[in-house]
Amino acid sequence: MKTLFKDVHEAWLATQFTGFMSQTQNRQDLYEFANILFKHLTWLENDFIKNGQDYDYSINQVPIRVPQLSVMIHNIIERLEKIEKELSSCKDAHITFRMQSDIDYIKAALAKMPDENVEHAFDTKREYPNVPLSDEARDALTIFLFEESYKEYELIMVYNYSKANSNDAFLNRIFQILIDESFFHLRSFGQMMAEMGILGVPRSLMEEIYKFDDLKQFLKDGIQEEIGAKEECKKLAAAVSESSEHFAAFFTFINNQENYHIALMEEALAHINKES
């Protein structure tokens, strides 16, 4: 079942990032399918936990550099077919029935998906449509997007792991909000990376990032990281403000969203302190 879990994880990322490279209605469909595959990942994860089995989030690199969307669609279908063959390794028939039903639908929809050219997502031109960028702004934005796309993926997985392994409803509500927020940010940054021709799937997480012993310390560190991210957004908003009002406004918006994340983590910390 560990292979199944890993393959579902990789299929989710392949589908999510294929969505980023699309510039048509395909994008929204791929986002929906990615959501379904992420849900499958959480079902299998809960089955591991229910059965007291150890698991991890290690994955192989997910190559996505293709000229046409159809190449990735074919790749995703192959990944789903491999998953189908591995479903029997999960002994919960309810989970595998639901997964099979979803996969049947996704495969049929993918097979009909119109093709599109996606070379722009990997051309490394680092130009944003209708937005002139200075060299300094271009470099700052490039580094920011690589750093933060990884960070958002990391946060999705960290909060997902924490949520899966906690029975505290109060904390789990906060973890779910933080997961949703990170999904939104990952999508924003992933789309921007594709626009700039620098799309890449984040690297695999080291186990100690999400398997930590001290949630309080993790939250304290997380608050400091969010404060750091706010500063990065401020710097970036300043660096791109001369080039683009649109980007400056976007990064100010992201900066202000970090306040909400900090408030949520402080709320979680206060709850843990009250309980202990």
Residues interacting with another protein, by CB under 8 A?
58, 60-61, 63, 65, 122, 124, 126, 138-139, 142-143, 146-147, 150, 198-200, 203-204, 206, 208-209
Residue 144 neighbours by CB distance under 10 Å: 21
The residue with tokens 């209605």 is 25
Residue 157 Cβ vs another protein, minimum distance, rounded to whole Å? 13
Those residues whose C-beta lies under 8 Å from the C-beta of residue 221, and which sit 6 or more positions away, are none
Structure tokens at 104: 């049947």
Residue 121 CB, nearest distance to another protein (Å)?
10
- The nearer residue to another protein, 27 or 138, going by C-beta atoms, is 138
Instruction: Give yes or no for a contact between 134 and 242, defined as CB atoms under 8 angstroms apart.
Output: yes
User: In this complex, which beta carbon is closest to another protein, that of residue 178 or of residue 199?
Assistant: 199
Instruction: Give the ranges where 116-168 is alpha helix by DSSP (H).
Output: 135-164
CB of 2 to another protein, least distance (A): 13
The nearer residue to another protein, 19 or 200, going by C-beta atoms, is 200
3-state SS assignment for residue 29: helix
Side chain identity at 87, as an amino acid letter?
Answer: L
Cα 256 from Cα 263, distance rounded (Å): 11
Give the SS3 label for residue 211.
coil
Least separation, in Å, of the C-beta of 247 and another protein?
16
Question: Between 99 and 199, whose beta carbon lies closer to another protein?
Answer: 199
Q: Quote the least distance from Cβ 3 to another protein, whole Å.
A: 14
* Residue placing its CB nearer to another protein in the complex, 43 or 212: 212
